[in-house]
Amino acid sequence: MRQLSGVLQVNLTAIRANWQLLRSNFNGDDCAAVVKANAYGLGVKPVVRALFSEGCRTFFVATYDEGVEVRSLLPDSVNIYVLQGCAAGMEFRFFEANLIPVLISFDMYTRWLGAASGFPAEAKCALKVNTGMNRLGMSLAELEVVSQDRAGLMVAGVELLVSHLACADEPSHELNHKQLLSFELALECLKITLPNIKASLVNSAGIFLGQAWQFDIARPGIGLFGGVEASGVPKFSNVVSLYLPVLQVRGLCKGESVGYGALWCADHDMRIAIVSGGYGDGVLRSLSCLASGWFNQEVPMLGRVSMDSCVFDVSALAEADCPREGDLIEVIGDHRPLCDVAEQGGTISYEFLTRLGGRLEKIYCE
């Protein structure tokens, strides 16, 4: 016996297929995987294991702690890059943990260089250059200074140049071209001293901008999890399904309201299903009155999403087909695509996935 709780089903076969789809559209050597934020909320351990067994040999995370966790799942030969770089004083810990920082500022590079000369073996790092997103990365001018010190680059172990696209999901945005030009300039400048340096510019959507943007290493994240939708991007396999169990089915008479704020009021007699799962589980409150679920057919959501529950109109189902206590209503899945539901809630798949809560039971299927 167990209590009824929401179920988050993660299809690892679909993640493998999505990685293969990304890889087959990428002409560089190395299609990596970005598994930051607990693999976009889906559980880093099973996701990393599935991708490694599929052949993925390069991983990106955001922070040192995430890197340590991913490192514990993988052989030493697999490269793990930490996108937010290395905080002051953490240099030796990165070296010991066999994590490669993506150095995001001139100061961070200088500190790394200072520390790396004391490492007992070769250091490894990546440099990030700002090409127009203006979030992280050193400027082109700073990169030029760095690139003139060949001995420094060797000691620091610079092996990869990284930048990040701001508008990859809008193929016609002019910034895509500007960023490409700046990135090419930065790379040329480094290649004078480091002819074998590798380069990485694209995220999931960026892969589909065309070969010019692709370089050596791709860094897809959301595409692995089926959450990317943009023109020119093929259809990814659905990875995530969210099912919420029915706690109670009840009648609602004409004139009665349901839920907080009495926001929704019945204009005829109805039958409603109350399910376990609300904004405490990541079912956004902004979906109130907007979303619908699926139980053999579409069942509209009524009233406000509460912390632990929400309500669906099951009046359209014949009494015999009505859900009963314990039956599962699909909120995300094959009938309720993640991107559509995220958009209904006023957000994007990335935020939706990373908010899905710890109270949900995660089931992995292959």
Q: What's the closest the beta carbon of residue 198 comes to ligand PLP, in angstroms?
A: 15
Comparison of 102 and 291: residue with beta carbon closer to ligand PLP:
102
**Chosen residue from 115, 161, 197, 222 binding ligand PLP by CB under 6 A:** 222
Cβ-based neighbour number of residue 117 at 10 Å? 10
Instruction: Quote the CA–CA distance of 364 and 366 in Å, as a whole number.
Output: 7
Comparison of 111 and 219: residue with beta carbon closer to ligand PLP:
219
**Chosen residue from 18, 79, 130, 203 binding ligand PLP by CB under 6 A:** 203
CA of residue 204 relative to chain centroid, distance: 10
What does the angle CA 58 – CA 61 – CA 64 come to, to the nearest 5 degrees? 120
Query: The dihedral of CA 185, 190, 193, 199: what is its sign?
Result: negative
Residue nearest to ligand PLP (CB): 221
Comparison of 163 and 309: residue with beta carbon closer to ligand PLP:
163
What does the angle CA 57 – CA 63 – CA 66 come to, to the nearest 5 degrees? 60
Residue 353 interacts with ligand PLP (CB under 6 A): yes or no: no
**Chosen residue from 21, 34, 199, 310 binding ligand PLP by CB under 6 A:** 34
Stretch that binds ligand PLP, among 92-100, 214-222, 250-258, 291-299 (CB under 6 A): 214-222
Residue 292 interacts with ligand PLP (CB under 6 A): yes or no: no
40 an active-site residue? no
Q: 109, 235, 260, 364: which one is catalytic?
A: 260
Beta-strand pair 30-31/257-258: unpaired
Stretch that binds ligand PLP, among 50-58, 112-120, 221-229, 271-279 (CB under 6 A): 221-229
Residue 18 interacts with ligand PLP (CB under 6 A): yes or no: no
**Chosen residue from 41, 67, 152, 223 binding ligand PLP by CB under 6 A:** 223
What does the angle CA 332 – CA 366 – CA 230 come to, to the nearest 5 degrees? 45
Residues 122-181 within binding reach of ligand PLP (CB under 6 A): 164
**DSSP string for 7-21:** EEEEEHHHHHHHHHH
Give the list of residues 6+ apart from residue 292 with CB closer than 8 angstroms, or none: 298, 299, 300, 301, 312, 336
Comparison of 299 and 353: residue with beta carbon closer to ligand PLP:
353
Residue 221 interacts with ligand PLP (CB under 6 A): yes or no: yes
Comparison of 129 and 299: residue with beta carbon closer to ligand PLP:
129
CB-CB contact of 27 with 211 (8 Å): yes
36 an active-site residue? yes
Q: Pattern 62-101, binding to ligand PLP, x per CB under 6 A?
A: ---------------------x------------------
Instruction: Quote the CA–CA distance of 74 and 248 in Å, as a whole number.
Output: 45
Give the list of residues 6+ apart from residue 349 with CB closer than 8 angstroms, or none: 222, 225, 227, 228, 229, 338, 339, 342
Q: What are phi and psi of 314, to 5 degrees?
A: -110, 20
Cβ-based neighbour number of residue 194 at 10 Å? 17
Give the residue numbers annotated as catalytic, written as ranges: 36, 260
Point out which residues bind ligand PLP (CB under 6 A).
34, 36, 83, 164, 203-204, 219-223
